[in-house]
Amino acid sequence: MLVRVAAGIILREGQVFIALRSSDKHQGGLWEFPGGKCEEGEVSLSALARELNEECGVEVLEASHFQTVAHDYGDKQVELVFFTVTKFSGEPHGREGQEVCWVPLGDLVNYAFPEANRVIVESLLK
Ligand SMILES: Nc1nc2c([nH]c(=O)n2[C@H]2C[C@H](O)[C@@H](COP(=O)(O)OP(=O)(O)OP(=O)(O)O)O2)c(=O)[nH]1
Ligand SMILES: [Mg+2]
C-alpha cells in the first residue's frame, strides 16, 4: 500500500509547530508535522491546505516545497511531501483534540518522530 502524504512544517520566529499522533494511528504516539493523505487526484499543495485546516484550524497563505521523502514502514509505504509554511492565518491548535506544541528548531531532537522524519529533522537543524 503506497500512500501519498502532504505535511506542513509551520514556522514562526524560530519555532516549529508539531502535533502528537494519537496512539491508535499508524506511527501513533510519535510527533509529526501536521498533514495527511492526498485524496484521489488531489495535488499535494491542496492536500496540505485542506489537512492543515482540518487538523490545526489554519489557512495556509504561503508554503514552499521543502523535501519529499519515500519510506517503507513494512506495513505501509509512504511518500511524504513536506512543505515549509511561512505565512498562515488563524492560530494553529489541535483541532482534533491532539496534543500540540511550538518547539524551538534546536529542540526538535528531543521529540520522537516517525523514522521517515529523520532526514527532515536533520535538515531543519542545519
Ligand atoms: N502527517 C504526517 N504523517 C507522517 C509524518 N511522518 C510520517 O511517517 N507520517 C506517516 C504516518 C501515516 O502513515 C501517514 C499520514 O497519514 P495520516 O493517517 O495522518 O493521514 P490523515 O491525516 O489523512 O489521517 P486519517 O484521517 O486518514 O487517519 O504518514 C509526518 O511528519 N506528518
Ligand atoms: Mg493526519
For the stretch 81-112, pLDDT in tens is: 999 999 999 999 999 999 999 999 999 999 99
Total of domains in the chain: 1
For the stretch 4-39, pLDDT in tens is: 999 999 999 999 999 999 999 999 999 999 999 999
Nearest CA to ligand 1 atom 16: 36
CATH number at 23 reads 3.90.79.10
Confidence of residue 74 (pLDDT cuts 50, 70, 90): very high
Q: How many CB atoms lie within 10 A of CB 4?
A: 17
The answer to whether 117 is annotated as binding is yes
Question: How far is it, in rounded angstroms, from Cα 97 to Cα 66?
Answer: 27
Question: How far is it, in rounded angstroms, from Cα 32 to Cα 112?
Answer: 9
Evaluate: CB of 56 within 6 angstroms of ligand 1. Answer: no
Is residue 62's pLDDT more than 90? yes
Residue 84 grid coordinates = 515549509
Evaluate: CB of 80 within 6 angstroms of ligand 1. Answer: yes
Question: How far is it, in rounded angstroms, from Cα 126 to Cα 119?
Answer: 11
Evaluate: CB of 35 within 6 angstroms of ligand 1. Answer: yes
Q: How many residues does the chain have?
A: 126
ipTM: 0.96
Q: Which domain holds residue 77?
A: 2-125
Please state the atom number of ligand 1 nearest to the C-alpha of residue 82. Answer: 31
